[in-house]
Amino acid sequence: MIKRNLIAAGVAATMLSAGTVSAEEVKIGIAAEPYPPFASLDSSGTWVGWEIEVIDAVCSAAELDCVITPVAWDGIIPSLTGQQIDALMASMSITEERLKTIDFSDPYYNTPAVIVADKSMDIEPTPESLAGKIIGVQASTIHQAYANEHFKDAAEIRVYQTQDEANQDLFAGRIDAIQADSIAMADFVATDTGACCEIKGPVANDVAILGRGVGAGVRKGDDALREKLNAGIAAILADGTHEEITSRYFTTSIYSE
């Protein structure tokens, strides 16, 4: 079960011994910045969204008593390794680079990275087509890493602390395009602000950078918690809960093996 505890980033937390899980409470870190439709604050200050519901379902299936703990995105892995949180479920892709620092559960969703631009722009998600353009990406994401690897020689890469800031600059015409997750961008272009724009298509896959899906991050060696989360993920996939939650937010599945 999940407790919707709005613990502010940076507030001191009781330190837990490395590699152990409190029987009473597991702090699940999410990004403090809104990332609809996965996680955002509603008018009452409660965290809502697809990923919040999945966290709730996974914790219930795994018989974990979970507390949502918002942390600034660029400090979420240090918060995990520093034991301020016990796990993170924040749309973080499983990449070889991150696996050097933390461990991951099995994936609980997997969607492509896409380029979004104004409807009037005749561009494709390739270095050649994006040459001379300004591309916005969120800091410390696979999208920043991918753009730096594949687009930097042809385009200018502009980095934002939050996805919403990048979206606003695209709407205002201060940048030409965005690279981000396809589902988050589908949600954006369906809004009044995002109606200016459209998804131009997925970028070429680079598994080394883009990873193999999104998983729950845990500290190195915390196999007990990782296996409990794996069991919870497997359970909600098997009993239809994952699909049922997804159907309330998206028109297609966002899980692939």
Residues 59 and 134 in one domain: no
Asked whether residue 82 is assigned to any structural domain, the reply reads yes
Average pLDDT rounded to a whole number, residues 49-60: 98
- In three-state secondary structure terms, 213 is coil
Residues 130 and 9 in one domain: no
Residues 8 and 104 in one domain: yes
Residues 229 and 204 in one domain: no
Residues 21 and 145 in one domain: no
Residue 112 has pLDDT above 70, yes or no: yes
Q: Phi and psi dihedrals of 157, rounded to 5?
A: -100, 120
Residues 134 and 23 in one domain: no
- At 154, list the tokens: 């042809």
Cβ(118)–Cβ(197) below 8 Å:
yes
Asked whether residue 255 is assigned to any structural domain, the reply reads no
Per-residue pLDDT band for 198 (boundaries 50, 70, 90) equals very high
Asked whether residue 256 is assigned to any structural domain, the reply reads no
Look over the chain and give the mean of its residue pLDDT values, rounded to a whole number.
91
The CATH number of the domain holding residue 103 is: 3.40.190.10
- In three-state secondary structure terms, 110 is coil
Average pLDDT rounded to a whole number, residues 209-220: 96
Residues 95 and 43 in one domain: yes
Asked whether residue 254 is assigned to any structural domain, the reply reads no
Residue 202, pLDDT score: 96
Nearest to 98 by CA among 204, 10, 220, 202: 220
Asked whether residue 127 is assigned to any structural domain, the reply reads yes
Residues 89 and 141 in one domain: no
Residues 106 and 15 in one domain: yes
pTM: 0.80
Beta bridge partners of 217: 88, 104
Residue 249 has pLDDT above 60, yes or no: yes
- At 149, list the tokens: 């690897």
Q: In the block, which residue shows the tokens 């690279």?
A: 179
Residue 33 has pLDDT above 70, yes or no: yes
From 13-22, 38-47, 237-246, the region with the lowest mean pLDDT? 13-22
Nearest to 49 by CA among 250, 242, 252, 249: 249
Residues 133 and 76 in one domain: no
Cβ(112)–Cβ(214) below 8 Å:
no
- Is-cis flag, bond preceding 34, omega within 30? no
Average pLDDT rounded to a whole number, residues 113-131: 97
Residue type present at position 250: F
Average pLDDT rounded to a whole number, residues 166-191: 96
Asked whether residue 257 is assigned to any structural domain, the reply reads no
Rounded Cα–Cα distance for residues 185 and 188 (Å) = 5
Asked whether residue 142 is assigned to any structural domain, the reply reads yes
Residue 223 has pLDDT above 70, yes or no: yes
Asked whether residue 252 is assigned to any structural domain, the reply reads no
Residues 117 and 243 in one domain: no
Rounded Cα–Cα distance for residues 159 and 156 (Å) = 10
Q: Say which residues have a Cβ less than 8 Å from residue 141's Cβ, sequence separation at least 6.
A: none
Domain that holds residue 228: 2-110+212-247
Residues in the chain: 257
pLDDT over 70 percentage in the chain: 90
Residue 20 has pLDDT above 70, yes or no: no
Domain count, the chain: 2
Residues 12 and 104 in one domain: yes
